[in-house]
A and B are shown apart, each in its own frame.
Chain A
Amino acid sequence: MGRLADFMWRSRFFPRKLSFTREGKIIVLVSVGLGIAAINTGNNLIYLVFSLSLSLIVLSGIMSEANLRRLQCEPIHFGRARARQRVPVAVTLKSARKRFASYSVEVWPWFDSPQVEVGPARFVYVKPGSTVQAACYLTFARRGKYALRAMVISTTFPFSFFKKSVVFPVGEAEQEGATFLVHPALRLPGAGLPRVAGLGEGESTPRSGRGMDFFSVREFRPGDNPRLILYRKSAGRLVPLVKEMEEPGQKLVWVVLINVIEGDNAEGLQQVEKAVEEAAGLTVELLRRGFAVGLASASGIVIEPGIGEVQAQRVLDALATMPVLIGTKEEARKARAFACPPYAEGEIVWLGPS
């Protein structure tokens, strides 16, 4: 946080950020050495070379500033990402300059997290007055919500001695659209798919389709068939309710996540994270095979069973922000006991720290 605060503070009062490249450090060191040598020897030709190196440094600063002037970029937008997966995101750079082009420009998003690895979008040449697009690559180390704090345009033009950056903080109004949800990575449980009825060898795995059997009643969600709305029940509850029909041969599986650990220990946290990833992987795999999958957790978060892509997103969204409960041994025991499906139907797969 301190790092971010420092960065934001500087970006407010000193909107330019300057850092040395390896070559920049070398030229500065050489210049210092030349200055000392010039004073020590009185050799005017060393003074001349010293002046040359100084002017290279000064011009580097001036030209990089000129190179960044009147370049604008907008905050990036993307839907959802998955942890540890490289995601290309479109970056748009606009040059409001009238005469001079910009060279060697990089654009990258600044997140309030060290968990994000950013591969900047690079523009070799930006014509004056043009709008250009390129992809930057983001890799999120962990699941969760990531807030985009700023967009940064940087350049090492002209001599690669310094990297000068200009910061465009994301405005308050844009914060909403600039928070990114990162799903957990998909991982199947260590021993493969658990023993769930219908997954055995030789057995047919039911596919999606519309069965005749009643499955459940739930709130209407975007994408549901309006013909399935139960109007009477809806009128009684004042919310639109739909009935879900079971696919022929479809099975219901509850994935129960025990997201609780005893004491704040790294190993426990790691195990929960692994369980979250297994829950995500299992859910996606079961849904792909036509199962109805629901999610329950020790923290009380429950996702009603459902099928298809929409259900997968729903479960992954929940897993993305799934908290890890930390408590004493007794609290952990109680929480574990609380981790169960809301109703006893379907098969249950327990995932969590051993």
Chain B
Amino acid sequence: MLSFEQQHRVVTAATLLLGLGCIALSGEFPAWALALSAGLTLFGVLWKPGVKYSKIESFATFCALMIAAVIAPLALTSGNFLYYTILYAILLAGCRSLTLVKAGDFLQIYALSFLHVIAGAVVNPGISFGLILLPYVVFLTLALLLTNLRYGLEAGVESGDKGWRSEQLEQWLERRDLVPGGFVAVTAGLTCLIFFFSVIFFFIFPRIGLGFFAVQTRPGVSVSGFSDTVTLGDLGELIDDPEVVARVRFFDGVPALPVRLRGQSLDHYDGKMWSKTTKNLWELRVDQMGRHMIDPYRPDIGSARAAEIYLEPLGGSRRVMFSPPKPVAFRKPPDYLEALRPHKWRFGRDVAGDVFVSGPPDTSIQYTAYWVDELHENGALRAPSKEIPDWVSRLYLQLPEVDPRVLALAREVTRGAKDQYEAVKAIETFLQRNYRYSLKSRHGGDPLVDFLLNNKEGHCEYFASAMAVMLRLLGIPARLVTGFYGGEVNEYGGYVALRKEDAHAWVEVYFPGHGFVTFDPTPPVALEMRSGRSWWGKLRAAFDAAKLWWYLWVVEYNLDKQVEIIATVLRPGMGSGRRWTLAEFREFKEKVKDAPWATYAGIAVAVVVAAFLARRALRLTRARGKKYTTRAGEPAVQAWLELRKVVKRIGLERGRSETQLEFARRIGQTVPAARGAAERLAWAYVRTVFRGEAVEDREEFEGLLEAVKEAVRAERSSESGGGNGGLP
């Protein structure tokens, strides 16, 4: 069992380290600073100073000033004040933890720790912040409670010389029985209440302001291979990275894996690198349902399937909208304050049909994608070829100078093909069967020729590039497409998670009259390797589900979601399962606007006033009851009340500000013979009513009362006698 001092210091150390952890997990600050501060914190908090307090304080102040002297110029020269301020707060915690002696010192260090948490909120938006915040609140609560006890001890014990602790206080602090048994329960209860109130406040505090509608930003996820250019070999770097990039929740249930999410197509190949030349965008039209239509001439998308996609923030302000192949429309959740936001979301498409969105940088995006299924093996694809449009030929038949052996190979592979579809399938099958999937292969010279003719192993980019080039050599328009392929069903969140390692490249081939159709020449070996879920995988899935919840309901919680919650409460059935249409929102807004707010306010005021009056009335009744009702039967009270009646006959009444004893003395001044009896009755009354003593000598009271009556009678008779004597 630790002493009170040890308990307090251990709890303080935990609080401080958790506060530092909020910042440390952002990865933004140097490890040496964090380690130094944590080390000093542990040393300072767990070490009890043995030298004079003033010396330690001077030393800590000197250190703090020195650090400030070093950091201030750095902040001024770099202009990054926030970074250096937080860095200073980190190091200051180490210095201040050396001077923990009095309760005030502990509170100062908690304030510093709270600043760390605030800094963590700024620099660390990840779920790690939330996970650290939970134990932090528990320890902070306990630390504050212990400090409160310490305050009481310090105030109760006289301090010794100049703030140094007296021996008596030392003895108190060393006691092991100082923390009462119920303290743990109090802390637990308090912590639960703090969480409860924090959640309530967090969700109800309106997310509105006056012109500062910034949105929550997070560091973008770097996914090479999704920019406008892809160099052969880029995607290979991502294969081992398990970071989730996109989460897809299908409206018609979780589909069979793998899931394919199409990103953008690349049309230009220079022998080593694919790039996009179709950069001009035009804005998508929005239909009545708030959907951004990719093809404005195809308004009927009734048969389209839909999925909600949560896309992590990817680098850059212009971002690809991922969707299953053949997307037809996209829809962003309603943003009622969009007109006021400095960055607006704009959807645009290029001539290739790829959809991009521009909006606030470094933010995640949540949207619904609509797509139609592709019709492979359909006789339509085998129909006699129509003429290829010029723009398609121009964009998708472009080739650099290619080794003639590649053309020969392509012709060889497609020798027996009767139509374009069979030719495409032949090349796809040829590559899948005769080439090996490998992440480690290296290709020198012309990488594609090396892959096709020599090495014969590579990853998806090589397979897709080889197929696209071979098709183009044969005069079939084809393009390379990047996206994600694979996924992992997250049973905790009910979605499919796509990770960086699911990054993939494949081919889209143009069929006249049908548009582009997906073909994937990469052998599906990697996906088979990923099947099966260990306990670690399940843990990872649970963590990812928690992470999504954190992002959706904490980091990216906004006014729209508040409206949604209110709507769910006010109109059951309108919850997260279905989005509001604009008309429904307008209806709701009108209802809110037309509500009789004045009446509600009046009722609220009336309720408050009534409660106040009722409380007062209750208190007065209780007070009266205490004075007159509960003790009314007591002989002393009855005798006193009788005495008041008696003396009232000679015009004596107790004043409002007069005590019983003062009144008795006044009676004595007017009727000296009644003085003793009146005072004794007053004392008996006071002892009975105010001290709760049982004064039950009824006979004595009757005797005293009789004495007063006698004296009053004598007084009255003398008064009347004196009056008669004065008559002429």
Chain A residues near B (Cβ < 8 Å): 22-23, 26, 30, 34, 38-56, 58-59, 62-63, 100-101, 103-104, 106, 120, 122, 124-125, 156-160, 171-176
Contacts and interface: CB of A to CB of B under 8 A. Distances in A.
Nearest to A15: B619
Contacts of B628: none
A172 B555 CA distance: 60
- Across chains A and B, which 5 residue pairs bring their CB atoms closest together, nearest first? A55-B197, A45-B121, A51-B201, A42-B214, A173-B686
A173 B209 contact: no
Given A101-B180, A104-B148, A124-B153, A42 B197 contact: no
Kindly state the interface size class of chain B when it binds its partner.
Answer: 35 or more
B483 to A, nearest CB: 30
Contact of B121 (A49, A158, A173): A49
12 contacts: A23-B111, A41-B212, A45-B120, A51-B201, A53-B114, A55-B194, A59-B190, A122-B156, A156-B151, A156-B152, A158-B144, A173-B661
A174 B690 contact: yes
Contacts of B582: none
Given A40-B212, A101-B180, A103-B148, A46 B202 contact: no
A172 B557 CA distance: 59
B405 interface: no
A156 B660 contact: no
B205 A47 contact: yes
A22 B661 CA distance: 44
A46 B199 CA distance: 13
Interface string B141-184: 00011011101110110000000000000000000001010110
Interface in B175-218: 178, 180, 182-183, 186, 190, 193-194, 196-202, 205, 207-209, 212-216
Nearest to B551: A44
Contacts of B139: none
Contacts of B685: 173
Contacts of B309: none
Contact of A51 (B152, B178, B202, B555): B202
Nearest to A158: B145
Nearest to B195: A55
Contacts of A46: 118, 121-122
A34 B118 contact: yes
Given A42-B215, A46-B121, A55-B194, A160 B147 contact: yes
Contacts of A124: 149, 152-153, 156, 178
A10 B107 CA distance: 31
B431 interface: no
Contacts of A158: 144-145, 148, 186, 190
Contacts of B137: 52
A40 B151 contact: no
B635 interface: no
A30 B155 contact: no
B690 A43 contact: no
A209 B211 CA distance: 94
Nearest to B210: A39
Given A40-B209, A55-B198, A158-B144, 11 more contacts: A42-B207, A43-B121, A45-B121, A47-B205, A47-B557, A103-B148, A124-B149, A124-B178, A157-B148, A173-B660, A174-B690
Interface of B: 103-104, 107, 111, 114, 117-118, 120-122, 124-125, 129, 133, 137, 144-145, 147-149, 151-153, 155-156, 178, 180, 182-183, 186, 190, 193-194, 196-202, 205, 207-209, 212-216, 554-558, 658-661, 685-686, 689-690
Contact of A44 (B117, B216, B661): B216
B634 to A, nearest CB: 14
B508 to A, nearest CB: 39
Nearest to B172: A124
B216 A42 contact: yes
A76 B469 CA distance: 100
Contacts of B660: 172-173
Contact of B129 (A45, A56, A106, A159): A45
Interface of A: prevailing SS: helix
A171 B156 CA distance: 29
Contacts of B214: 40-43
Contact of B149 (A34, A56, A59, A103): A103
Contacts of A26: 111
A48 B202 contact: yes
A20 B216 CA distance: 34
A101 B104 CA distance: 25
Contact of A160 (B144, B199, B208): B144
B640 to A, nearest CB: 11
B121 to A, nearest CB: 4
Contacts of A125: 180
- The residue in A34, A104, A106, A175 that gathers the most chain B C-beta atoms within 10 A of its C-beta is A104
B155 A122 contact: yes
B690 A44 contact: no
A22 B105 CA distance: 13
A53 B114 CA distance: 9
A49 B133 CA distance: 9
A98 to B, nearest CB: 14
A157 B153 CA distance: 13
Contact of B554 (A45, A59, A173): A45
A128 B127 CA distance: 42
Nearest to A58: B197
A44 B148 CA distance: 31
Contacts of A53: 114
Contacts of B209: 39-40, 42
Nearest to A40: B212
B194 A56 contact: yes
B197 A54 contact: yes
Contact of A173 (B120, B144, B690): B690
Given A42-B212, A103-B148, A156-B148, A48 B661 contact: no
A22 B554 CA distance: 32
A30 to B, nearest CB: 7
A164 to B, nearest CB: 13
Contacts of B104: 22
Contact of A42 (B153, B182, B196, B213): B213
A53 B113 CA distance: 13
Contacts of A52: 133, 137, 194, 198
B15 to A, nearest CB: 13
Nearest to A62: B193
A124 B557 CA distance: 43
A32 to B, nearest CB: 13
A44 B145 contact: no
B159 to A, nearest CB: 13
A59 B140 CA distance: 14
Contact of A122 (B152, B196, B208): B152
B401 to A, nearest CB: 53
Contacts of A49: 114, 117-118, 121
Contacts of B155: 106, 120, 122
Nearest to A13: B616
A30 B196 CA distance: 21
Contacts of A39: 208-209, 212
A62 B124 CA distance: 32
B555 A45 contact: yes
Given A46-B121, A48-B202, A174-B690, A159 B148 contact: yes
A53 B178 CA distance: 28
Given A54-B201, A176-B661, A59 B152 contact: no
Given A23-B107, A44-B554, A125-B180, A104 B197 contact: no
A172 B682 CA distance: 12
A155 B193 CA distance: 20
Contact of B659 (A44, A157, A173): A173
B205 A50 contact: yes
Given A45-B121, A124-B153, A159-B144, A103 B212 contact: no
B149 A44 contact: no
Contacts of B216: 42-45
A176 B663 CA distance: 12
